[in-house]
Amino acid sequence: MIWFKRIIVLCLSPLTFSLGLIILGLICLWSGRRPKLGRGLTIAGLVLLILASYGQFSRNYLARMERQYDPLNLATQPTSTVSQIRFVVVLGSGHISDPRLPVTSQIGASSLFRIVEGIRLHRHLPGSRLILTGGPGFDTIPNAEVVAAVAREIGIEQDNLIILSHPRDTREEAVNVKEFAGTAPFALVTSAVHMPRAMKVFKTEGMNPLPAPTEFAFPTRQKPEPESFFPTVRGLGCSEWALYEILASLQENIRDWK
């Protein structure tokens, strides 16, 4: 299933879709049978590729997503709520288990942001434990195990770690975490853009997460950057990221509807 979802995202990605239109258009032009259709497809593909490479619409969409929740400040939370927190849940992300590299270099940027924030909260919550989630994805070792190794390198004791290495997506993470957290408050750590979707999934499971977003990729800037006026690879990446979040949210809505 994970392969199927990834292939769907790649087929619908702005780069793949744009190149597909351009190739179809060139084939029509080369064959000489449908020149008008060929020109239309080629132009449509080029326009879509340029717009996606600017990525302004995608950046605005992702920025709105990540601003829905502020970073978790325990000092502003009710004392009665903080006293009930026994778990800090860190959701899984990407990694590459390359034995040539130190474990701190095997996790992706998102995983690094998440585990650092999780450890920060864990140290502010005496008696709490870290729940690390995440299956292997396209690797041979589960993400949760690699992140746990990083946590141990940073100084977290094994007794303070709970490793859930089987969940394949956010829904499965919520189901597995519920076995430990139940309906009590707990800190939920994930990337800021992913947080709205994660909160919806965990609440649908009847849980009581406190959002602790991290990895804010679209901070408010006081001055425009030069890249805002040019098509860039980063802009294209933002368009693909936005598409992924839209498709993932659609999948969750379909699950809820069923």
pTM of the model: 0.87
C-alpha torsion angle, residues 168, 174, 180, 186 (rounded to 10) = 130
Q: Is residue 24 part of a domain?
A: yes
Using CA atoms, how far apart are residues 148 and 164, in angstroms rounded to an integer?
10
Residue 9, pLDDT score: 73
Verify that 96 and 78 share a domain, yes or no: yes
> Is 208 found in the same domain as 96?
yes
Please tell me whether residues 77 and 59 are part of one structural domain: no
User: Is 151's pLDDT higher than 90?
Assistant: yes
Is residue 179 packed enough to be buried (19+ CB in 10 Å), middle (13-18) or exposed (0-12)? exposed
pLDDT tens figures, 200-215: 999 999 999 999 999 9
**What total of structural domains would you count in the chain?**
2
Same domain? For 39 and 156 the reply is no
Instruction: Check whether residue 90 and residue 203 sit in a common domain.
Output: yes
Task: Supply the pLDDT for residue 230.
Answer: 80
Q: What average pLDDT does the segment 229-252 reach?
A: 86
| Residues 204 and 81 reside in one and the same domain | yes
Strand bridging mode 161-164 / 185-191: unpaired
Range(s) of the domain holding residue 35? 2-64+232-257
Q: φ, ψ for residue 247 (rounded to 5)?
A: -65, -40
Same domain assignment for residues 59 and 77: no
Measured CA to CA, the distance from residue 51 to residue 193 in angstroms comes to 21
Model confidence pLDDT, tens digit, residues 47-100: 999 999 988 888 889 999 999 999 999 999 999 899 999 999 999 988 888 889
Q: Are residue 159 and residue 130 in the same domain, yes or no?
A: yes
Closest CA to 72 of 173, 203, 210: 210
Of 224 and 101, the one with more pLDDT: 101
> Comparing 7-11, 72-76, 83-87, 135-139, which segment has the lowest mean pLDDT?
7-11
